[in-house]
Amino acid sequence: MTRFRIALILATLMPASTGAGMTQKGSAELLVRVDHLVYATPDLNRGVEEIEKLLGVRATPGGQHPGRGTRNALIALGPATYLEIIAPDPDQPPPKTPRPFGIDGLKESRLVTWAAKGVDLERLRDEAARKGARLGEVMSGSRRRPDGTLLSWRYTDPQTVLADGLVPFFIDWGQSPHPAHTAARGAWLIALRAEHPEPQRVQRLLRELGLDLLVQPGAAPALVAIIDGPRGRVELR
């Protein structure tokens, strides 16, 4: 069993699902900041099939992450937002360091974290540190799409995990085409929220970063996305 659950959600209930205290304007501003959601899975084919069953959209192959021991597949969730399904890459040797997002120890697929859009990442990281949010070091990454196009980006190291992945890492695609442009289409991110045993602490961290992600009390940390697609409005966690 995976840790996502399918839930058809009536559009009339959306104000309640975003929670008291989060205005529609705040929710819209947050969604603009979301670059991508990270759905980690022990096996890429398994993850692609799970998400296709949930959404009714089959992910586009993304490519390998050289040296990191992972590969991915993507679904666009808007013009500059996407869902990344990421898993170990059997065609690469085991990396020297653990794979990101806790992939090596995964037994079930789940939404593990998210990436926020950012620019001038060194300044962003320094300002966050002064406010008590210690993001990862700024790094460079790259992968080649199946059509041969090389994508490159800069990001704060996602191996630095804050608030169990509810605080995002930040990414800047620079001059590379955004991955959402060539990802499978048909789904849209409608809302994003979180659950955590210490919601106030996590909410404070997010607000220091200028992110209005609603954090509700929960028995375990969870990132919860509401996505509209061919099979209706569903919940992914």
CB 185, CB 56: distance < 8 Å: no
The answer to whether position 1 is within a domain reads no
For 198-215, what is each residue's pLDDT tens digit? Answer: 999 999 999 999 999 999
For residue 3, is it within any domain?
no
In this predicted structure, what is the pLDDT of residue 25? Answer: 53
Read off the pLDDT of each residue in 57-75 and give the average, rounded to a whole number.
94
Predicted pLDDT of residue 14 = 40
Q: Report d(CA 45, CA 213) in Å as an integer.
A: 30
Q: CB neighbours of 41 closer than 8 A, spacing ≥ 6?
A: 47, 50, 85, 86, 87, 106, 109
Asked if 47 and 110 count as a contact pair (C-beta separation under 8 A), the reply is no
Q: Is residue 218 part of a domain?
A: yes
Predicted local distance difference test score (pLDDT) of residue 62: 93
Query: Is residue 101 domain-resident?
Result: yes
Q: Flag whether 5 is in a domain.
A: no
Which pLDDT does position 1 carry in this prediction? Answer: 43
Query: Of 187 and 3, which is predicted with more confidence?
Result: 187
Q: What is the CATH number of the domain that holds 55?
A: 3.10.180.10
pLDDT at 26: 52
pLDDT at 108: 95
pLDDT, position 174? 95
Mean pLDDT of 65-72: 92
Res 17 pLDDT > 60:
no
Asked whether residue 101 carries a pLDDT value surpassing 80, the answer given is yes
Overall number of domains in the chain: 1
Q: Say which residue the tokens 């559009």 belong to.
A: 11
Helix ranges (DSSP H) in 3-104: 14-18, 24-33, 44-55
Residue labelled with tokens 């890492």: 169
Question: Which tokens hold the place of 209?
Answer: 């970063």
pLDDT at site 28? 86
Q: To 5 degrees, how large is the angle CA 234–CA 118–CA 226?
A: 5
* Residue 11: predicted pLDDT: 33
Which domain range does residue 106 map to? 11-236
Residue 27: pLDDT band (50, 70, 90) is confident
pLDDT, mean of residues 34-55 = 98
pLDDT tens sequence across 110-164? 999 999 999 999 999 999 999 989 999 999 998 899 899 999 999 999 999 999 9
Average pLDDT over all residues of the chain:
90
- Does 168 reside within a domain? yes
Residue 218 pLDDT > 70: yes
- Looking at this protein, which amino acid is placed at residue 149? T
Q: Does residue 53 have a pLDDT over 50?
A: yes
* Residue 6, pLDDT score: 38
Q: How many CA atoms lie within 13 A of 81 on its CB side?
A: 20
Predicted confidence band of residue 180 (pLDDT cuts 50, 70, 90): very high
For the chain, what percent of residues have pLDDT higher than 70? 89
- The one-character DSSP state at 167 is B
Distance between CA atoms of residues 56 and 186, nearest Å: 8
